[in-house]
Amino acid sequence: MELGNSCFRGQEDGMRIDNRKVGLIGTGMVGMSYAYSMLNQNACEELVLIDLDKKRAEGEAMDLNHGLAFSGSHMKIYAGEYEDCADADIVAICAGVAQKPGETRLDLLKRNREVFRSIIEPVTASGFSGIFLVATNPVDVMTRVTCDLSGFPPERVIGTGTALDTARLRYMLGETLRVDPRNIHAYVIGEHGDSEFVPWSQAMFATRSIEEIVAGDESPIRMEDLERISEEVRESAYRIIEAKRATYYGIGMAMTRITRALFGNENSVLTVSALLNGEYGQRGVFAGVPCILNQNGVRRVLELDLTDTEWEKLAESCEILRESYRGLE
């Protein structure tokens, strides 16, 4: 999926010549972890906070502004309305409703779809023509909902997908191998949820495959370690929620990394939730897969050379996502 002209305002030949503006919808812990990370990384020039609880949005903006003197940023931060998204480059959605006791996952999905409808309609009506970045769970389904409700080209609707899961994997592999996680090249793909998996056939440490390292006589890591790591990555969120009731710092930093890739026109590879249009034999489903990201959004979905077993796991994961979405129809 190769794209044409930049969707960012004021760009010629991929060069940024005016303010980078982000509209953040939802000022809960995830949204504000993103905002705090954006401020500390000086990732944009203008950040507007939007929430149904306007007083909270105002308070969060004040709190961030009072720390500007300690940062290297001159970011303009303020509470605003949906109309303020008109000239935004990115609208990040972190809003959603919590599951009620006894409520089914499908009922929760239906309520969140209505929440998204109440967000996306006024955002698009404002004249917004940038990129949607979705973090609300279940993120793959909500990214598809965003694409459908907005009518935007799918390359300009991105979910956080398995970006955080992949970071967790790289951290755990780095700890086990005692190397910098940045030198680990491995991915978690599929649903951001219980059916996600690690295609170990594609995992690398520098220029060596993880499977090759495992097979070595003096290897510090064995196949059972890989199985343990896969399970720990998949269950990380549950463990964090059990310990502190929510997870938000990691996803906030993941969102900032995606934002920087977009604003920087980096052509970086990140595992985000993107529409599959024939890749991996799948169509009409948003799932977490490695994608090249630049100022236009998803430039291309990368197809890994999966084994037959891995191919089947991805197909099963995509079918779970399709089934979830069908329940909304």
Neighbours of 328 (CB within 10 A): 14
Return the residue matching tokens 């993941």: 254
The one catalytic residue among 66, 74, 185, 192: 192
Euclidean distance between CA atoms 34 and 36, whole angstroms: 5
User: What Rg, from alpha-carbon coordinates, does the chain have?
Assistant: 20
To the query of whether residue 185 is one of the catalytic residues in this protein, the response is: no
Tokens 């009731």 correspond to 245
- Residue 215 has, within 13 A of its CA and on its CB side, a CA count of 7
Neighbours of 150 (CB within 10 A): 19
Count of positions (residues) in the chain: 329
Classify the C-alpha dihedral 285-288-293-297 as positive or negative.
positive
The tokens for 280 are 């991996």
Pairwise CA distance, residues 108 & 62, whole Å? 32
Active site residues: 192
